[in-house]
Amino acid sequence: MKSRCSTSIKAERDQAQAALQESQTRLRHLQSQVHRVAVRPKVDVVWLALRLFLEVRISFCALCRVLSLLAAELGLTKAPCPQSVITWVVRLSIVRMESNHGRRGLPLSQAPFSNGLIWMIDLSIALGSGKILAVLALDAHHHQTAGAAPTLAHVHCLAVSVADSWSGEAIAGLLKRLIAQMGRPAAYLKDGGRELQKAVDVLEPQGLGSLCIDDISRAAANILKRYYQHHPSFERFLSACGRVSGKLKQTLLACLAPPTVRTKARFMNVQRLFGWADRLLKLSPAGAAKSGSILARLRACLDLTPSPQGGAESCVISGTTHKHSQ
């Protein structure tokens, strides 16, 4: 009798211990679930990727690397590849372009039959063997209503087309198809390209002409190019920038390297080089760097721009003259 009672108690104890272990295991599992980030649905991943591309403005590859590093914290089972992000951006672009075909701005009093939009037309860089023609729209009353410079959010893409080459007649044909859908623009904003000017001239006799505005930044860049492109001082300055870039890359002072300026549009952003050199000369006065240091080699590159008179060199940057001994 006593033996049977002892056996029953032992069995109940073992059962209670097993139930306790099971409960503790379930409790730990539930606690881990509380602190675990929920897996995000694909729509959230697409939205996040598009925000990073459009707002942060990083490349497709960099975007994917960022999402890979933050995957665990964001609840992503797998970061998207660059091709997936490109596909999402292309689809968003198509949807936005289709929705912009009915866009209308407030008509101007001087042009009551226009759609109240300024069309910005430009021949962009090549895509493979073709060239991209883009037409963007901006409300003609933007500065009256917004009170600030236009941003990416204020500009709307109306059309993008690729061709092996673009003549004035071909550009005029594309603009004519857009006018048939949206009406005549209040004005065209363009650079000084001959093809774009020819397109505007072709539309004028057909009653589809509008005010034509030349891009002032491109006009100023062309003036600077004609005057300084072959100027000896400017060529020496560019040579010094190239030497500085070579000395600083792959070093601890790589952050001080000159900004990259495309050769084809150098005079559109030449102020970036001037501003960089002005700040660098102020931060690194002559003779202040330790002999043999990276900073001394950097300064030596900047000092290789002697004036024709000799004796003391003068480097004119952003209207400021910096003079130091050779």
Q: How much of the chain is in helix, strand and coil states, percent to nearest 5?
A: 55, 15, 30
Exposure pattern of 28-59 as b/e (b: 16+ CB <10 Å)? eeeeeeeeeeeeeeeeebbebbbebbeeeeee
How many C-beta atoms surround the C-beta of residue 117 within 10 A?
A: 28
What are the residue ranges spanned by the domains of the chain? Answer: 42-94, 105-214, 227-325
Residue-level pLDDT at 3: 62
**Hey, what amino acid is at 172?**
A
pTM, full prediction: 0.56
Superfamily, domain 105-214: Ribonuclease H-like superfamily/Ribonuclease H (3.30.420.10)
Mark residue 266 as left, alpha or beta (left: phi above 0; alpha: psi -120 to 50; beta: remaining): alpha
pLDDT at residue 326, as a whole number: 31
Q: Kindly give the pairing relationship between strand 130-139 and strand 211-214.
A: unpaired
Residue with tokens 């049977």: 4
Structure tokens of 158? 């109306």
What is the residue type of 136?
L
| Residues whose CB is less than 8 angstroms from the CB of residue 46 and which lie 6 or more positions away in sequence, other chains included | 88
Please, which residues have CB within 8 angstroms of residue 156's CB and are 6 or more apart in sequence?
A: 96, 100, 103, 136, 137, 138
Q: Would the CA dihedral through 234, 240, 243, 245 be positive or negative?
A: negative
Q: Are 195 and 123 in contact (CB under 8 A)?
A: yes
What local confidence, expressed as pLDDT, does residue 76 receive?
Answer: 80
Per-residue model confidence as pLDDT tens for the chain (326 residues): 556 667 777 777 788 888 888 888 887 776 665 555 555 678 888 888 888 888 888 888 888 899 888 887 777 888 889 999 999 988 888 887 777 766 665 555 555 556 788 888 888 766 667 888 889 888 888 887 777 888 888 888 888 888 888 888 999 999 988 888 888 888 888 887 788 888 888 888 888 888 888 877 777 887 888 888 888 878 888 887 887 777 777 777 777 778 877 766 677 778 888 888 788 777 766 666 677 676 676 666 666 543 434 333 343 333 333 333 33
- Phi then psi for 119, rounded to 5 degrees? -95, 125
Q: Which residues pair with 139 in a beta bridge?
A: 117
150 contacts 174 by C-beta, under 8 angstroms = no
Phi, psi of 122 (to 5 degrees): -155, 145
Q: Strand ranges (DSSP E) for 140-232?
A: 156-163, 187-190, 211-214
**Distance (Å, rounded) from C-alpha 172 to C-alpha 164?**
16
Would strands 211-214 and 187-190 be described as parallel, antiparallel, or unpaired?
parallel
Residues pairing with 108 in the sheet: 111
Give 19-63 pLDDT, tens digit per residue.
Answer: 888 888 887 776 665 555 555 678 888 888 888 888 888 888 888
3-state secondary structure of 212: strand
Helix (H) or strand (E) holding 323, with range, is strand 320-325
The beta-strand segments (E) located in 164-311 are 187-190, 211-214
